[in-house]
Copies of this chain bind each other. A is one copy, B any other.
Amino acid sequence: MDYRAHNFFPGPAALPLEVLEQAREELVGYRGHGMSLMEMSHRTEAYERLNEETQELLLSILGLPKGYRALFMGGGASTQFALVPLNLLGPGRKGWYAITGQFAEKAYEEARTVGDAAVVASSKAMGWSVVPSAEELKVPESESGQVAYLHITVNNTIEGSRYPVLPEVGEVPLIGDVTSEVLSRTMDYSRFGLFYAGAQKNLGPAGVTVVVLREELLKQASTSIPTIFRYETYVKHRSLYNTPPVHSVYMLRLVLEWVQRQGGVAALERRNVEKARLLYDVMDASRGFYRGVVAQPYRSVMNITWRMADEALERMFVEASEREGFAGLAGHRSVGGLRASAYNAVPVEACRALAEFMTEFQRRHG
């Protein structure tokens, strides 16, 4: 077997080894077609079936009821920051944004270029160490007619926080950026009117963006924006309006099948909680050598962030970890510190090895 590093990259990130091996096996010749899937028209029966089945599989794994549709788009979650307000923020209405990290802030800034967006809560002044309570995000009945949606970032990749529970929004559609948390945690996804995720954390390689929406939300959608920006175009053409990122959708399919073989989202969630606990336990027992960035109830299970006494020690930690076969532990360049991204495909053993490394590093340098 090829040597495998302990991969804690924040995204693009670890993929299941067996998915990569299957993709390698099928890369040059795809299932008797005499060519790679990368070489096949998206109008072939083989691809149309793959497209349909992958959409159905995703909705089924997420436990969504009828009325939801899965779309495959390009451009990453950052493109959704613009497409959500372009489609859903009609004139005379307000988009509500909860700002819990840099990506949430970017979503809000993009919405401001499109329409009337408002910050309803922000944890910026708290150094991103918390997320707003359900109470803070409650839409008063008197305003709910004017509010087009409430947008939240369910897990904050850079900061390492997440919503312990989803806010109550009543009739107002809840929009979620679930990029770094989808498939990692059981959640009532039908609480969302729409959610989206760039693939490169828990869904597959970079290149496809998944959008899931309640079809009736399209009733409030703009029809005057370019066709290619309209969610309705993707719904109507089942994501085959133009050429989709074929191989990325195929990889997504392999990952979804792998999720099923692991026992589904509930089984992965148990494993993820165990993985995160291994790291948080070292932190909490370190008497301040490793200081978690986020307050306990809001700690992310996917992105575990911490600081050390000073930047020199943090740099030393990263360098030592790389020598020991760990990758991706430096915090986001805008915030510094340390971060271990332990997405679904990161094995328990990698987290155990990291916990041991952290303990040993403290023993030497603490």
Taking the closest CB of chain B, its distance from the CB of A19, in whole angstroms, is 10
Complex formed: what's the CA distance from A34 to B6 in Å? 8
| CB–CB A76/B110 < 8 A | no
Q: Which residues of B contact A21 (CB under 8 A)?
A: 28
In A223-266, the 8 Å CB interface with B consists of: 224-229, 241-248, 251
Q: Which residues of B contact A7 (CB under 8 A)?
A: 34-35, 39
| CB–CB A9/B207 < 8 A | no
| CB–CB B38/A205 < 8 A | yes
Q: Which residues of B contact A225 (CB under 8 A)?
A: 113
| CB–CB B41/A9 < 8 A | yes
Using a Cβ–Cβ cut-off of 8 Å, how many residues does chain A contribute to the interface with B?
72
Q: Which residues of B contact A73 (CB under 8 A)?
A: 75
| CB–CB A207/B109 < 8 A | no
Taking the closest CB of chain B, its distance from the CB of A1, in whole angstroms, is 9
Q: Which residues of B contact A200 (CB under 8 A)?
A: 243, 246
> With A39-B14, A74-B74 in contact, do A3 and B29 touch (Cβ < 8 Å)?
yes
| CB–CB A246/B79 < 8 A | no
Q: With CB as the reference atom, state the residue of chain B lying closest to A251.
A: B38
Complex formed: what's the CA distance from A319 to B252 in Å? 32
- Of the candidates B34, B41, B79, B333, the one whose C-beta lies within 8 Å of that of A325 is B34
Complex formed: what's the CA distance from A106 to B46 in Å? 27
- Of the candidates B4, B40, B74, B76, the one whose C-beta lies within 8 Å of that of A76 is B74
Question: How many copies of this chain?
Answer: 2
| CB–CB B114/A206 < 8 A | no
CB of A219 within 8 Å of the partner chain: no
| CB–CB B226/A114 < 8 A | yes
**A4, A38, A82, A227: residue with the most chain B Cβ atoms closer than 10 Å:** A38
- Of the candidates B3, B9, B33, B113, the one whose C-beta lies within 8 Å of that of A227 is B113
CB of A287 within 8 Å of the partner chain: no
| CB–CB A76/B224 < 8 A | no
CB of A363 within 8 Å of the partner chain: no
Q: Which residues of B contact A10 (CB under 8 A)?
A: 41
CB of A15 within 8 Å of the partner chain: yes
CB of A316 within 8 Å of the partner chain: no
CB of A27 within 8 Å of the partner chain: yes
| CB–CB B15/A20 < 8 A | no
Complex formed: what's the CA distance from A224 to B113 in Å? 6
28 contacts between A and B (CB under 8 A): A2-B28, A2-B29, A2-B34, A4-B29, A11-B243, A12-B38, A12-B41, A12-B42, A20-B27, A20-B38, A21-B28, A33-B327, A38-B206, A39-B205, A42-B206, A74-B75, A75-B79, A77-B242, A78-B228, A81-B228, A82-B226, A200-B246, A206-B243, A206-B245, A207-B208, A207-B247, A245-B248, A247-B248
* Beyond A7-B34, A14-B35, A106-B227, 10 extra complex contacts between A and B, CB < 8 Å: A3-B34, A12-B246, A24-B24, A38-B205, A42-B206, A75-B79, A79-B228, A113-B225, A198-B243, A206-B243
